[in-house]
Every structure is written in structure tokens, then in C-alpha cells.
Amino acid sequence: MHIQPLTIPDIVLMTPKAHQDERGFFMESFNLRSFAQAINGRYGFVQDNHSHSKKQVLRGLHYQFRQPQGKLIRVLQGSIYDVVVDLRQSSATFGQWLGVELSAASQQQLWIPPGFAHGFLTLTESSDVLYKTTDYYRPEDEHCIRWDDTHLAIAWPLQGPPMLSQKDQQGVPFSQAQLFG
Ligand SMILES: Cc1cn([C@H]2C[C@H](O)[C@@H](COP(=O)(O)OP(=O)(O)O[C@H]3O[C@@H](C)C(=O)[C@@H](O)[C@H]3O)O2)c(=O)[nH]c1=O
């Protein structure tokens, strides 16, 4: 597995090794030991999520505060622009965001530890995104930061107005976000 820490070093881009042969390929899409080595830590995953989105659907920016979730993201079909925002006040990269394109073709995975807000935009006709989480979904604990917050100024590669859920239309500014220690 190829490991690449990004501009926020706790965010890690992983490329599992795909073994190609005349039948197609084989890949260990998750291996606990390799994952622990890659992030130099241990997390247990308790939930797998699959979301299917149309082009220009933007989900986010979401986080749970009392029971934060680490997320391991990958794309099974199509491509997305995946964004994280560091909400950890003690972090050297507090308040920074980064975006990375993830696609079925690249087979890359993005590790996002607890303490980040997360969102993504579907770039292709549709996308299928699969992600593992380190804690359970708790709707009462869920928070949403505006995708177009002016302070964050995220450079979403939009080709028109995004399609948003009702909830995501009511995100709060970054200045009103709950912050981690
Ligand atoms: C996230 C989630 C939603 N749901 C339900 C609630 C609702 O009826 C329906 C759709 O939920 P949402 O609108 O919150 O789905 P969505 O906007 O896709 O929310 C997700 O966005 C991305 C960016 C994340 O990072 C995730 O953690 C999650 O917040 O699915 C669950 O049952 N379990 C879950 O874990």
C-alpha cells in the first residue's frame, strides 16, 4: 500500500496494491494491520456507509462533536472532490481545509481522523462512495458547517449550483462551529 500524508499531515491518502492479471484485479481494500501501520495508530471501525449521488450533489460539511467519527473514504464508481476541515484547536493546521479528488479509477482511499468536518462533491454523472466510520451515527450529535463559508473559501470545482439536502442548506458558518480541544 502506498501512503501519502497530505498538506494536513494527519490526513492520509492510501493507494492499496491492485494485483492485475488476465481475469481482472485483486486488491485488499482494507487490512487492519496495514492500516494501523499507515496511520501509526489504532482505530476500530463500527459502521460501513454507502452513498450514491448524482452529479453536482454536494454533501457536507458534517461532523459529530461528542462522538466524533474517523472516516476511511473510497469511491467505487465515478469520482468526487473530497474536502476536510481541521476543527482541532490544538492542531498546527487548525482551520485549514484540503480537497482531493478520489475516484474509482485511482482506487485511492482517504483517512480522516476524528476532529474534522467532511464533505464531498460528485464530479461525474453519479458516484458511489463507501466509507468506514470509527463511531456510530448519532443524528442528535451531528453538526453542519456551510459548504460555502466565506472564511474557509473552499475551492469546490463546481460547474453550476450544487444540489444540497435541506439540512446542508442550513449549515452554520465556520465561526459558529463547535471546536475540538
Ligand atoms: C449519515 C447517516 C445517515 N442515515 C440516514 C439519515 C437520513 O434519513 C439519511 C440521509 O442522511 P444524511 O442526509 O445525513 O446523509 P449525508 O448527507 O450523506 O451525510 C453524510 O455526509 C458525509 C459528507 C459524511 O461525512 C457522513 O458522515 C454523513 O454525515 O440516511 C443513517 O441512517 N445513518 C447514517 O450514518
Q: Cβ–Cβ contacts within 10 Å for residue 139, how many?
A: 7
Query: All 3 cell numbers of residue 48?
Result: 460501513
The atom number, within ligand 1, closest to the CA of 49 reads 35
**The CATH number, out of the four listed (2.60.120.10, 3.60.20.30, 3.40.50.620, 2.30.30.100), of the domain defined by the range 45-176:** 2.60.120.10
Does 132 sit in the ligand 1 pocket, CB within 6 Å?
A: no
β partners of residue 154: none
Question: Is there a contact between 137 and 165 (Cβ–Cβ < 8 Å)?
Answer: no
Residue 51, pLDDT score: 98
Centre of ligand 1 to C-alpha 142, Å, is 9
Determine whether 136 is an active site residue.
no
ipTM exceeding 0.85? yes
Phi, psi of 174 (to 5 degrees): -55, -35
Whole-prediction pTM value? 0.98
Determine whether 62 is an active site residue.
yes
Give the pLDDT confidence of 21-30 residue by residue, as tens digits: 999 999 999 9
The atom number, within ligand 1, closest to the CA of 69 reads 27
Centre of ligand 1 to C-alpha 24, Å, is 33
Does 51 sit in the ligand 1 pocket, CB within 6 Å?
A: yes
Instruction: Tell the residue number behind the cell numbers 491518502, with chain if given.
Output: 13
Domain extents for the chain?
45-176
> In this structure, are strands 58-64 and 71-77 parallel, antiparallel, or unpaired?
unpaired
pLDDT band at 53 (very low <50, low <70, confident <90, very high): very high
Question: Is there a contact between 87 and 62 (Cβ–Cβ < 8 Å)?
Answer: no
Centre of ligand 1 to C-alpha 23, Å, is 36
Mean of the pLDDT values across residues 96-109? 98
Residue 143, pLDDT score: 98
